[in-house]
Amino acid sequence: MNAPFLILETGQPVASMRRHRGFPHWIRVAAGLQADEAVVVNVEAGESLPSREGFAGTIVTGSGAMVTDRHEWSERSAQWLRDAAHEGMPLFGICYGHQLIAHALGGEVDYHPAGREMGTVQLELHPQAENDPLFSGLPAQFPAQATHLQSVLRAPEGATVLAKSVHDACHAFRWGDRAWGVQFHPEFSATHMRGYVRAREEALAREGHCHKQLARSVSATPHARLVLRRFVRHACGLPR
């Protein structure tokens, strides 16, 4: 058996979606990992970060927390991720995880000036994505699920920005050749996304959006999911 992947759990789904279990389960299933191929550490609940030895790579989940709140567990995780990135451990951050890796490596994370991005959004790949192990060969534009208030406003120094949406200039980046962050949720199915839209009905209404119309526009996002699966395959093939 290959070395397992470490999943750092940084938060829980919205309450109405917890009957579908949590982010680590969604990620493991979407990534094509068996139960014994992933080790989950709930850093938000105070669990200790393990030694980096013996893992094929690390995947960092989304969260309802904000990176700018600088929670103790979040800053401790950022330090661990910074060291892991410099040591060459394969990393893949999703939403909060994307922002946390960017923060850990010196990028800037904050509330997006244009507010919330939510629903099935169209990503546009930058030309440099064509040479990226996770994004090469994908369509120049493809849909992905997103829900966030904060964004990576400035990618870490030396990072390559790979994708953008109309709303967010940094929807994906690579730092070095083994660390990625994606603002979108490759583990979200259309069911997950619609559940999130329903859960945010009141907030969306306050912001002038119709949750029913947004839910109707949700679609499947197979190319986004493929990015996560490619990370797993890529990490498994790297020398350690």
Per the residue annotation, which of 9, 44, 117, 187 is the catalytic one? 187
**Phi and psi angles of residue 235, each rounded to the nearest 5 degrees, phi first:** -65, -40
Instruction: Check whether 1 has a pLDDT greater than 70.
Output: no
Question: What integer is the mean pLDDT of 5-32?
Answer: 96
- Return all residues near 125 (Cβ < 8 A) that are at least 6 apart: 135, 138, 139, 140, 141, 162, 163
Is 187 part of the annotated catalytic residue set?
A: yes
pTM over 0.95: yes
From the list 49, 192, 169, the residue with the least C-alpha distance to 114 is 169
Is 126 part of the annotated catalytic residue set?
A: no
pLDDT computed for residue 240 by the predictor: 73
User: For residues 1 and 145, what is the distance between their CA atoms, to the nearest angstrom?
Assistant: 32
User: For residues 96 and 102, what is the distance between their CA atoms, to the nearest angstrom?
Assistant: 10
28 with 39: CB under 8 angstroms? no
Instruction: Read off the pLDDT of residues 82-141 as tens digits, 9 standing for 90 and up.
Output: 999 999 999 999 999 999 999 999 999 999 999 999 999 999 999 999 999 999 999 999
Instruction: Read off the pLDDT of residues 193-222 as tens digits, 9 standing for 90 and up.
Output: 999 999 999 999 999 999 999 999 999 999
- The DSSP element (H or E) to which 236 belongs, if any, is helix 222-237
Question: What integer is the mean pLDDT of 3-31?
Answer: 96
Is 209 part of the annotated catalytic residue set?
A: no
Instruction: Check whether 189 has a pLDDT greater than 60.
Output: yes
Report CA Rg, the chain. Answer: 16
Burial, 90: exposed, middle or buried (Cβ in 10 Å; 0-12, 13-18, 19+)? buried
Per the residue annotation, which of 103, 185, 192, 211 is the catalytic one? 185
